[in-house]
Structure 1
Amino acid sequence: MALKQGYIHVYTGNGKGKTTAALGLALRAAGQGLSVTMIQFLKGETDIGEIKAASALLPNFVIKPTGRRGFISQEEPSVEDREGAAEAMELASKIVHDGSTDVLILDEVNVAVGLGLVPEEWLISLMESKPQTMELVLTGRNASPRIIAHADLVTEMRAVKHYFNKGVKARKGIEK
């Protein structure tokens, strides 16, 4: 089943739930027979629940983590961070050019743009050149005004209260 019209979503803001919202959309799409690819910018970890679930249960939902594990320095991203972003950009460009998936999710791409790892112009060009039938989802805090202007749907997640502020670390099965 292919979409007649694909739209561009942006999930941004400082609250929890951007990737989770994209995963919910992915689950719904895969359940309806659409092919889904999620490219995770800045997330090299593979021992996370969504990757395990997608690979075990949904052959039409592929998650591709890129980059390295751990936090990225906002002052000076490493060579490895730059290589991971370049890998993700190359993969996303190929998928958009080939039209090889119905739903393409670029997880944390807005953060990668903000860190200077992904040129904003590249992302805007990708948004403008996506196939008409492809749904494109961009996640990550601090989406730029230009990215927002090119989107069809923008949701801003706002943090009201979060237990991370009390020192609770990411837990398997809930945050990872």
Structure 2
Amino acid sequence: MTPSTKKKSSRVHVYTGTGKGKTSAALGDLLQAAGHGHRVLMIQFLNGDKNRGEMKAFQRLGDHITILQFGRTDTPALGELQAIDAYLANQALQYAREAMRSRRQRPDVLILDEITTAVDQQLVRLEDVVDMIDNRHQQVDVIMTGRIAHPALLNLADRVTILYSAKP
């Protein structure tokens, strides 16, 4: 199956909440999109560990999937964030913005993993994220993940999934 050439209206999805599974849900969307031949770009905020299972697995899947990490190798706890984390998060945001503007490299699906956490921890400006989503290319679906999602990000979404732990 080849990607549709028809123009479509893109969608925004948010996976948020205190439970596990936000990134895993986004990875499921990633696999589905790649399986249909769509180009997928996943940008991981606050994470630079190349030994994570998903990094190893997706390196084997080929040309449709790109995962980039903009974080320290030793992923910091939320109370231990430093200026370097804000710098890297803003680099990630800039890369995402440029990818959506690119004709050759523009993804069909852009996953912004932990971006809601980056906003919550004031590593990136909420206004910059909202502006990027509001002005995205009409054919780019955006998936945002993170523990705490600002109401403005939830308002942008066509679908919001809140994950929580029913049994700790």
TM-score normalised over the length of structure 2: 0.90
Q: Distance in 1 between matches of 2:77 and 2:54?
A: 25
Q: Distance in 2 between matches of 1:54 and 1:156?
A: 25
- Structure 1: runs of 5+ lacking an equivalent: 163-176
User: Does residue 154 in structure 1 map to residue 137 in structure 2?
Assistant: no
Q: Distance in 2 between matches of 1:78 and 1:31?
A: 38
Partner of 1:49: 53
Partner of 1:136: 142
Q: Distance in 1 between matches of 2:153 and 2:144?
A: 9
| Aligned mate of 1:69, from 55, 73, 78 | 73
Partner of 2:107: 101
3-state DSSP of counterpart to 2:59 = helix
**Cα offset, 1:79, TM superposition:** 2.3
Matched AA of 2:37: G
Q: Distance in 1 between matches of 2:90 and 2:54?
A: 23
Matched AA of 2:149: A
Partner of 1:172: none
CA contact (8 A) 2:47 2:75 kept: no
**Cα offset, 1:77, TM superposition:** 2.3
Matched AA of 2:148: N
CA contact (8 A) 1:113 1:119 kept: yes
Give the RMSD, CA atoms, in angstroms: 1.5
Q: Distance in 1 between matches of 2:29 and 2:62?
A: 14
Matched AA of 2:41: T
Matched AA of 1:82: A
Runs of 4+ residues over 6 Å off in structure 1: none
Q: Distance in 1 between matches of 2:33 and 2:84?
A: 32
CA contact (8 A) 2:48 2:75 kept: no
Q: Distance in 1 between matches of 2:56 and 2:89?
A: 22
Structure 1, residues 21-53: CA drift from partner, whole Å, max 9, x if none? 000000010011000000000001111121122
Partner of 1:30: 34
Q: Distance in 2 between matches of 1:28 and 1:154?
A: 18
